[in-house]
Amino acid sequence: MASFPVFQLTEGEWTSSKFIEVLGLKIAPRLTSDPQLLCDFITNFQTRPDDVFVVTYPKSGTTWVQEIVWQIFNEGRVASDNILQRVPFLEAATSARFPQPDYNTLPSPRILKTHLTHNIIPKSGNEDSKCKYIYIARNPKDIAVSFFQFEKSMKVFGHGFNGPWEFFAKLFVEGNVGFNFWNDHVLGWWKHKDDPNVLFLKYEDLQKDLLSHVRMIANFLNKPLSDDLISRIAEQCTFSGMKKNAASYEIEKADEGKTSLLRKGEVGDWKNYFTPELNERFENEVLAKLKGSGLEFDFEI
C-alpha cells in the first residue's frame, strides 16, 4: 500500500501551505479527498490520440493557454462556462470540492489541464497514437510572486499559506511549494521540447507576440484557421479581453468568497517584490540549475 505523507512547514508563527505527497509531488488537499484514488487515477489514465494536455508549473500562464486552445477548437467562441468545466484539471479529478466530469465519456478531443511532471504525466504506450502536450514555461521570479498571491487568496479553502512574502520566497527556492522545484519541472519538459507531440512555449514570448503564437498552437493542433479567426482569438485572449469574461476564471467556495485564476498578466512584476539579496539567491539557487541546458528567460519586456 502506498503511503501519502502530509507536509506542512512552520517557522515561528508562519506556516507553509499543507500538502499531501502523491507520486512524489506535493498536492494541495483541496485537490483530493483520497490520495490513493488520485494516485490510481493518474497512473491508470488512458490517453486518446487526440487528447491535448495544457501543462505548466503553477502560475505560468495555464489559464491563458487553456482559453486559447479551447477557442481554437471552438471557432473563437467566448464561453461564459467556467474554464475548469471546459478544460478539466486532471489533479482535481478525485476532489469533492471541484466537481469533475466523467473523463471516459468526455467527447474528443479532450482538452485537459495539468501541472504534472513529464515522468508522471499519462502517456500512450503506442508510438502511433500519442496525444499532444503544450507546455508553457515562465520566468521563476514572476511565478514566485504570482504563486504567493494565489496561495494567500486560497485561504478560503483552508490549509492555506500564512506568512510574509520573504517566507514564501524561501519555500519556493527550497521546493517546498505545490509541485516541488520549479527548475526540476521545467527542465524535465525542456528535455522533450523536440518531441513531435510536445510544443514548448514561454509565457514571455506569448506576451511579446500573441498573434503568431495562437497561429503556432493552431498549427500544432492540426487546426489551421483563417487569419481573421486567429486575430479574433488573439484579441479575445489578451489579458484585457479575458478580464471582460472574468467570471469564467473564478474559483468559488460557498459563502466564503471567490478567488480568480487571473491576476495581473505581466512580465516583470517581480521587481516590486525582490530585494537585491533575494534576487541573488534566485540567480544562484534557481536559475544556476539551468546552465548548460540552453533554456533562458526574459525577466522584463
Q: Find the catalytic residue in 115, 118, 185, 213.
A: 115
Spatial neighbors of 144 by CB under 8 A, at least 6 apart, are: 168, 169, 172, 270, 282
Q: Long-range contact list for 221-228, CB < 8 A, 24+ apart?
A: 221/52, 221/69, 221/72, 221/73, 221/132, 223/72, 223/73, 225/72, 225/76
The three cell numbers of residue 74 are 471552438
Please name the residues in contact with 38: beta carbons below 8 A apart, sequence gap of 6 or more. Answer: 22, 27, 31, 32, 91, 93, 94
115 in catalytic set: yes
Cα separation of 105 and 181, whole Å? 34
Catalytic residues: 115
